[in-house]
Chains A and B, each alone.
Chain A
Amino acid sequence: MTTQDLTAVEAGAAGNPAAPAPGARQVWRRLRAQRAAVAGTAVIALLVLVALAAPLLSAIEGQNTTAYHPELVDSASGGVPLGSFGGISGDHWLGVEPGTGRDMFSRLVHGAQISLAVALGATLVQILVGVGTGLAAGLGNRFVDNLLSRVTDVMITMPALVFAIALMAVVPDSFPRPLLLALIIGFVAWGSISKLVRAQVLSLKSLDYVAASRLAGSGTWRIARRELLPSLVAPVITYAALLIPANMVIESGLSFLGIGVKPPTPSWGQMLSSANTWYEADPAYVLLPAAMLFISVLAFTVLADGIRTALDPRAASRLRIGTGRKREEAAS
């Protein structure tokens, strides 16, 4: 349902493990050569900055996320903000929220914190769990592989959103919500990355250099660390870059369904779900969080695309006619 399948399909292509690894500097150069990726990176940098400086920005504006301003809304008309485009004014740079009159700018910049923190945290969890299980399945004996593969299937079968909803309800409320969200999204949606890692490990395992390492007397752990993990870095990074925006979408989806972070902590998805009915009376209320979410997800997606291109060994030689196989040798 989500971008996850896509990422699986696309990231799979990035992993030709036998291909020569472009060095970090080379990747960086190739990344910089893509204008879109540079723009994406810039947007993300800005976003991170905004998220980190959210309290400061609010303070500069002179507002906070929780203060109610009943005087700025028309109580008799359902609380629609007074003034144009959601009540934009010198005091409230992006207007106020209908009903409560809370400051939109403060809420939006604070929302960035949640979106980023949850998306990054969840991705980290997914990578740890996914790489761990994928490696274990790929390297373990048949029993371990079967067991882990079944569990992975279940994780993939179960839509992340459903599982997350169920789990959110079980965990005590005292648990910090952003952390919980990151953990739950992470623990729910690691299936495809695990599958990817397992497939990579299986194909790497059949390569001669792994056999050579065995002949050199290396044990399984040593092979995993020395021979496999370095080769997994590229596909895993590619995949992780695609997971971040996907996780952002899941987080906002959960918040949209009303089970994300708890008020008064602002989050974009949550704002959108309240804004859902307001698109006629106060379009600004819808458009602002929608735009923030869209831009962030887009920036991450673009960057992920860029990273994939940069890490893709074939990107270097786009021209291909002739006896492809030999050329790659010759080129390398």
Chain B
Amino acid sequence: MSAATDSAVDPAATAGLAEPLVEVRDLVIDFPTASGTVRAVDGLSFRLEAGGALGIVGESGSGKSATAYALLDLHRGTGARTGGTVRVAGTDVLGADDTELRRLRGGRAAMVFQDPLSSLDPYYAIGDQIAEVYRVHVKATRRAARERAVQVLDRVGIPDAARRSRARPHEFSGGMRQRALIAMALACEPRLLIADEPTTALDVTVQAQILDLLHELRAETGMGLLLVTHDLGVVAGSVDDVLVMRNGTAVERGAVSAVLDDPREPYTRALLAAVPQVDAARPVVLVKQRTGDERKAAVEAPLLEAVGLRREFGKRQDTVTAVDGVSLTVRRGETLGIVGESGSGKTTLGRMLVRLLDPTAGELRYDGRDIGKLGDKALRPLRRELQMVFQDPVSSLNPRRSIGESIADPLRAAGELSDKAVVERVRELLERVGLEPDWYHRYPHEFSGGQRQRVGIARALAPAPKLIVCDEPVSALDVTTQAQVVALLGELQRDLGLSLVFIAHDLAVVRQVSDRVAVMRAGKIVEEGPADAVYDSPQHAYTKGLLAAVPVLDPVESAVRRASRKGLAEV
């Protein structure tokens, strides 16, 4: 028996095994806001047996997190109203008094949050934070608690745990921080682990490691797992049962294999359909039919060519080389995909391609002319030919200007069209990207993320550019919206004969849209080639690792891959 259960009288232990670990009945959660009450969860019920694993999936805002928080009644004191019953490990959560609730939190049920950076106190050493939590639940000396902290850190695979336990959160990488949070959860040996999007902020390879770790711990300690995620690929390999949520209610539930293989609800089906598959080749509809001549011309005269492009940040000893000697070509009418993990230099490269950033070294040839060193003035006429779509739909539109004005900007700057013609053209563009032309005078906050991304695309299209660099244009969107935006981009390219540079960290998305793919790592391109070739027979070890880490929708395949990753790691 563990220290935790020794010291605390555990009502669940005496209640017998019949009681489920989690039992939620008719859960209702309301958030009162300035503009009325928001019902985030509406009559949700579900159970989780001891040692089981349940996944909760659903699109953004469907009430997943609100539900997860209700299990520890984290809504208490925030003004949110909760109704129904929630029993966790034998405790009536919503009815428990503060002391009782505190004993549950962290002691019998622990939680791991999405953003590992902000979930730890930046001022204290990680080991101390774990020890603090441990001492809340277990009578232990400071030293014993520290030792426990080192022990759990070691368990979650932090190398040199004793030393690293003295580090502060900012000295850890994202993956290590998430491991530390899991270690904190493990400290008191809880019977339930609630993980709210534990891997959303992480790269695929790290995500795979964390999911593997959770799997392992579950097998080892027998604790229950409640995994909240919007990524169907993540649930596939990690849980037994799945609950699909929409607008605060459960639309479908069942064994994970059953739900994923044979979804009954159209919503679930739509969710599934929208998930891009890394092993699916580029859909044919998107490929533009080109004549042989066109192809030839494209090969002979690249539109944009980078040679040994390099970019450094910082001064002297603090120099970071974000892009380190990248050479690539973008031909007329083709899409070049760029994939790579966070920090590999994708954005920096993309911004250099449209000359938002000055290259430190190397050449950038546009239409055969070196534009890498042109000044602001000289660039002005070229600006309209090179455009960009940005990742963040929030910050890429000026909240204080109507979207019509934002789109009209390049047209007005060019100063060729009359005011009326500009407005007319903007309305056309809005229609082109699937928005109402009458929305000209609306402001960005009146749009959803996907709609805003369309506005961004319309703005990029406005000056009739030759090339658009799309920097993670869909990463901030949920899967369904992602699919729509990707489709729009493909359609535009086909119709307008644009060249696209499509940057993403999501391998599957890149594969969907690209003719050719370049894989970036630490500022360099490690592998480049036609999309199918790169995905189907990767040459570089890094690309192989990347591909192996991608979660798949098939639980069986998922298990196979986990085993093979384990094999890779142990070799």
User: Which residue of chain A lies nearest to B456 when distances are taken between CB atoms in the complex?
Assistant: A212
- A319 / chain B contacts, CB cutoff of 8 Å: 31-33, 78-80
B398 interfacial by beta-carbon distance below 8 Å: yes
**A215 to B388, Cβ gap below 8 A?**
yes
**B65 to A218, Cβ gap below 8 A?**
no
- B351 / chain A contacts, CB cutoff of 8 Å: 211
A67 interfacial by beta-carbon distance below 8 Å: no
Given A216-B409, A217-B413, A316-B34, answer yes or no on A321-B398 (Cβ-Cβ < 8 Å): no
B66 interfacial by beta-carbon distance below 8 Å: yes
Task: State the CA gap A20–B79 with chains docked (Å).
Answer: 24
**A326 to B395, Cβ gap below 8 A?**
no
Q: Which of B386, B395, B462 contacts A209 (CB 8 A)?
A: B395
| Per-residue interface assignment for chain A, residues 37 to 73, with 1 indicating a CB less than 8 Å from any chain B CB and 0 otherwise | 0000000000000000000000000000000000000
A274 interfacial by beta-carbon distance below 8 Å: no
**A215 to B383, Cβ gap below 8 A?**
yes
**B69 to A321, Cβ gap below 8 A?**
yes
Q: Which of A219, A226, A329 contacts B394 (CB 8 A)?
A: A329
Q: Which of these binds chain A: B133-141, B238-246, B367-375, B442-450?
A: B442-450
Task: State the CA gap A207–B392 with chains docked (Å).
Answer: 10
Q: Which of B60, B69, B74, B197 contacts A330 (CB 8 A)?
A: B60
**B34 to A209, Cβ gap below 8 A?**
no
Task: State the CA gap A18–B384 with chains docked (Å).
Answer: 25
The winner among A214, A217, A326 for most chain B CB atoms within 10 A is A217
- B384 / chain A contacts, CB cutoff of 8 Å: 216-217
The winner among A209, A233, A319, A320 for most chain B CB atoms within 10 A is A209
Q: Determine chain B's interface SS by DSSP, over half rule.
A: loop
B531 interfacial by beta-carbon distance below 8 Å: no
- A209 / chain B contacts, CB cutoff of 8 Å: 395-398, 406
- B459 / chain A contacts, CB cutoff of 8 Å: 212, 216
- B66 / chain A contacts, CB cutoff of 8 Å: 322
Given A217-B414, A330-B60, answer yes or no on A231-B398 (Cβ-Cβ < 8 Å): yes
Task: State the CA gap A269–B32 with chains docked (Å).
Answer: 48
Segment 126-147 of B: residues with Cβ below 8 Å from A: none
B502 interfacial by beta-carbon distance below 8 Å: no
**A321 to B413, Cβ gap below 8 A?**
no
Segment 443-467 of B: residues with Cβ below 8 Å from A: 443-445, 449, 456, 459-460, 462-463
Give, as a whole number of angstroms, the nearest-CB distance from A235 to chain B: 12
B229 interfacial by beta-carbon distance below 8 Å: no
**B387 to A215, Cβ gap below 8 A?**
yes
**A213 to B400, Cβ gap below 8 A?**
no
Q: Which of B383, B391, B444 contacts A20 (CB 8 A)?
A: B444
Q: Which of B65, B69, B114, B396 contacts A212 (CB 8 A)?
A: B396
**A20 to B386, Cβ gap below 8 A?**
no
Task: State the CA gap A227–B395 with chains docked (Å).
Answer: 12
Given A21-B399, A21-B400, A317-B33, answer yes or no on A217-B394 (Cβ-Cβ < 8 Å): no
A323 interfacial by beta-carbon distance below 8 Å: yes
A173 interfacial by beta-carbon distance below 8 Å: no
- B354 / chain A contacts, CB cutoff of 8 Å: 215
B115 interfacial by beta-carbon distance below 8 Å: yes
- B215 / chain A contacts, CB cutoff of 8 Å: none
Give, as a whole number of angstroms, the nearest-CB distance from A97 to chain B: 51
- A318 / chain B contacts, CB cutoff of 8 Å: 79
Give, as a whole number of angstroms, the nearest-CB distance from A123 to chain B: 23
**B65 to A323, Cβ gap below 8 A?**
yes
Segment 237-278 of A: residues with Cβ below 8 Å from B: none
B410 interfacial by beta-carbon distance below 8 Å: yes
A208 interfacial by beta-carbon distance below 8 Å: yes
- A215 / chain B contacts, CB cutoff of 8 Å: 354, 356, 383, 386-388, 410, 460
Size bracket of the B interface: 35 or more
User: Which residue of chain B lies nearest to A214 when distances are taken between CB atoms in the complex?
Assistant: B356
B390 interfacial by beta-carbon distance below 8 Å: yes
B544 interfacial by beta-carbon distance below 8 Å: no
Task: State the CA gap A212–B409 with chains docked (Å).
Answer: 9
**B401 to A226, Cβ gap below 8 A?**
yes
B566 interfacial by beta-carbon distance below 8 Å: no
Task: State the CA gap A322–B115 with chains docked (Å).
Answer: 11
**A323 to B115, Cβ gap below 8 A?**
yes
B75 interfacial by beta-carbon distance below 8 Å: yes
**A217 to B383, Cβ gap below 8 A?**
yes
**B388 to A212, Cβ gap below 8 A?**
yes
Segment 278-332 of A: residues with Cβ below 8 Å from B: 316-323, 325-326, 328-330, 332
A19 interfacial by beta-carbon distance below 8 Å: yes
A222 interfacial by beta-carbon distance below 8 Å: yes
Task: State the CA gap A44–B61 with chains docked (Å).
Answer: 44
The winner among B351, B409, B476 for most chain A CB atoms within 10 A is B409
Task: State the CA gap A227–B196 with chains docked (Å).
Answer: 37
- A21 / chain B contacts, CB cutoff of 8 Å: 399-400, 443, 445
**A218 to B449, Cβ gap below 8 A?**
no
Given A319-B33, A321-B74, A321-B75, answer yes or no on A216-B400 (Cβ-Cβ < 8 Å): no
Task: State the CA gap A230–B398 with chains docked (Å).
Answer: 9
Q: Which of A208, A214, A226, A322 contacts B65 (CB 8 A)?
A: A322
Task: State the CA gap A47–B33 with chains docked (Å).
Answer: 36
- A332 / chain B contacts, CB cutoff of 8 Å: 394, 444-445
- A213 / chain B contacts, CB cutoff of 8 Å: 398, 409
- A320 / chain B contacts, CB cutoff of 8 Å: 78
**A216 to B463, Cβ gap below 8 A?**
yes
- B60 / chain A contacts, CB cutoff of 8 Å: 326, 330
Task: State the CA gap A328–B445 with chains docked (Å).
Answer: 10
Task: State the CA gap A217–B40 with chains docked (Å).
Answer: 44
Task: State the CA gap A200–B413 with chains docked (Å).
Answer: 25
Segment 372-423 of B: residues with Cβ below 8 Å from A: 376, 380, 383-384, 386-388, 390-392, 394-401, 406, 409-410, 413-414
Given A217-B410, A319-B31, A322-B69, answer yes or no on A211-B356 (Cβ-Cβ < 8 Å): yes
Binding site for B on A (CB under 8 A): 18-21, 207-209, 211-219, 222, 226-227, 230-231, 233, 316-323, 325-326, 328-330, 332
**What are some 8 contacts across the A-B interface (CB < 8 A)?**
A21-B399, A21-B400, A208-B396, A213-B409, A216-B413, A218-B413, A317-B33, A326-B61
Inter-chain pairs besides A20-B444, A207-B395, A211-B390, 12 sampled, C-beta below 8 Å: A209-B396, A212-B409, A213-B409, A215-B410, A216-B384, A216-B409, A218-B413, A231-B398, A321-B78, A322-B69, A323-B197, A328-B394
